[in-house]
Chains A and B, each alone.
Chain A
């Protein structure tokens, strides 16, 4: 399910035999999402209490009802009716899915949210955090029981963020990991010193027959070719 040691993208096989790549979200993003949701809930709650204060005892009854709904059903509502994401999760670009990659339903959402109580134990989500760090999909106890996980919402892949003059087309095809490694090299070259870039590029000298400066610029041009930007210009010429 998990291709590499460092790579935590998980591949889900669909009934059509195609693998979907999903990235489980770690504690950091999820804690931030939780805090954003907390703020939103607090705001809703304060506004409601202010308004309901004008309605006497009926207002007090409604206050308890709303408090109950906000406490237990706020996440469930959004996860079921708003594409598996509470506002906080949406802000962090996360969403809840079943293990098999399908959208979460009412039952799954109820299980994972009722069992928050257990994740909270013994204080502020300690058990949930320990449990998340104990498995590769970052599932807390509620997720384990419900068969759900929180993944980064898929979005249209961003165009590669580097500018290189010229492009090379390799005479042989590279597989996806190799392509990603080269594109990653070009994208990160801005944060690497020239010496380090040369050092990395020299690893490929046996293949490229180039060294130092020449090797670096050659690899970048190959990466540029791999991004498909040259193809757009080719297609334009045709």
Chain B
């Protein structure tokens, strides 16, 4: 068949298809609701026209035009319906804790990398208090001392004037950014995650050890215990996700390195969604509850213990199927 004949015969079909396409691209799917059922059929026809045109060596301009239509049609037809909002409930209730249990080897390692240096530094500081200055400069130490001075009305802040809401914004910005970098840095031979976890651990142990020496442990621990349940756990999970990224590149197993990295990133990013939610929670608690200096420490310890058991119970048991523990597909 000559190209002219071909165009005469079929042009109206792909013009109709183009009309539908431009309506859909403008987001007015309702306008073409009646014709929507024809779309897949028309798309397949246009695909066939393109294949024919290529095979029969029709002219480049026709092939380009059909190629353009197929591309645009492909994008309308093969949009993944992610269910962006509807999926969240199931993710929180079931998928995230399952994922944490599935990747627990990495996450326990991350906790180790954070808590062991913290514990060690804490003990060292009890024996040799001046070593805090080899890790932090004196100005930083001073600022921590004033932040956790039992006399202050708002604990954990440099300046008394800072409002709860301002700190809420700051915690979100700072903590989630730290978690993101902790995750991404893991790609580089796991180094970014390891450094981030160890430094955070040393900071935690250092501040705790120093303030214990000064006799302020009460203010610090009653401050940290509430939001720490979410914050420390979330940072550990982010670190674990980062370790998984680096590990997938170093030990790809049966996969190619690229495939292994892609799979690890897909799992890791889902862990990060949970981390974001946990850190939002932590920022809220830290800004509006932990910092309140007028509450008795006993109340804070009580609520803190409750929050810790909540987090551990949630991650340990939520989403298990009732019969026989975890389902294999989790």
A49, CB-defined interface residue at 8 Å: no
B177, CB-defined interface residue at 8 Å: yes
Contact: A144 with B258, CB < 8 Å? yes
Beyond A17-B47, A18-B47, whether A231 also contacts B173 by CB under 8 A is no
Minimum CB–CB distance for B224 against chain A, Å: 21
A159→B59 CA distance, assembly (Å)? 13
Complex contacts, A147 vs chain B, CB 8 Å: 262
Contact: A179 with B60, CB < 8 Å? yes
A126, CB-defined interface residue at 8 Å: no
B135, CB-defined interface residue at 8 Å: no
Query: Which of B48-56, B102-110, B141-149, B322-330 lines the interface with chain A?
Result: B48-56
Complex contacts, B19 vs chain A, CB 8 Å: none
Residues of chain B at the chain A interface (Cβ within 8 Å) = 3-4, 7-8, 43-44, 47-48, 50-51, 54, 56-57, 59-65, 67-68, 70-72, 74-75, 78-80, 82, 84, 161-163, 165-170, 172-174, 176-177, 180-181, 183-185, 187-188, 192, 245, 258, 261-262, 264-266, 268-270, 272-273
Complex contacts, B266 vs chain A, CB 8 Å: 107, 111
**Per-position binary interface string of chain A over residues 110-129, scored 1 when its CB falls under 8 Å from any chain B CB and 0 otherwise:** 11001111100100000000
Complex contacts, A114 vs chain B, CB 8 Å: 180, 183-184, 269, 272
Give which listed residue, B50, B161, B187, contacts A141 with CB less than 8 A.
Answer: B187
A102→B77 CA distance, assembly (Å)? 9
A67, CB-defined interface residue at 8 Å: yes
Query: Which of A39-47, A53-61, A197-205, A207-215 lines the interface with chain B?
Result: A53-61
Complex contacts, B245 vs chain A, CB 8 Å: 145
Query: Which of A29-37, A85-93, A168-176, A188-196 lines the interface with chain B?
Result: A168-176
Contact: B59 with A145, CB < 8 Å? no
Which residue from chain A places its CB closest to the CB of B175 in the assembled complex? A68
A72, CB-defined interface residue at 8 Å: yes
Contact: A157 with B170, CB < 8 Å? no
Minimum CB–CB distance for A63 against chain B, Å: 7
Contact: A228 with B258, CB < 8 Å? no
A170→B90 CA distance, assembly (Å)? 63
A16, CB-defined interface residue at 8 Å: yes
Beyond A57-B162, A145-B261, whether A118 also contacts B188 by CB under 8 A is yes
Give which listed residue, B44, B80, B162, B176, contacts A68 with CB less than 8 A.
Answer: B176
Minimum CB–CB distance for B134 against chain A, Å: 26
Contact: B169 with A176, CB < 8 Å? no
Contact: A234 with B4, CB < 8 Å? yes
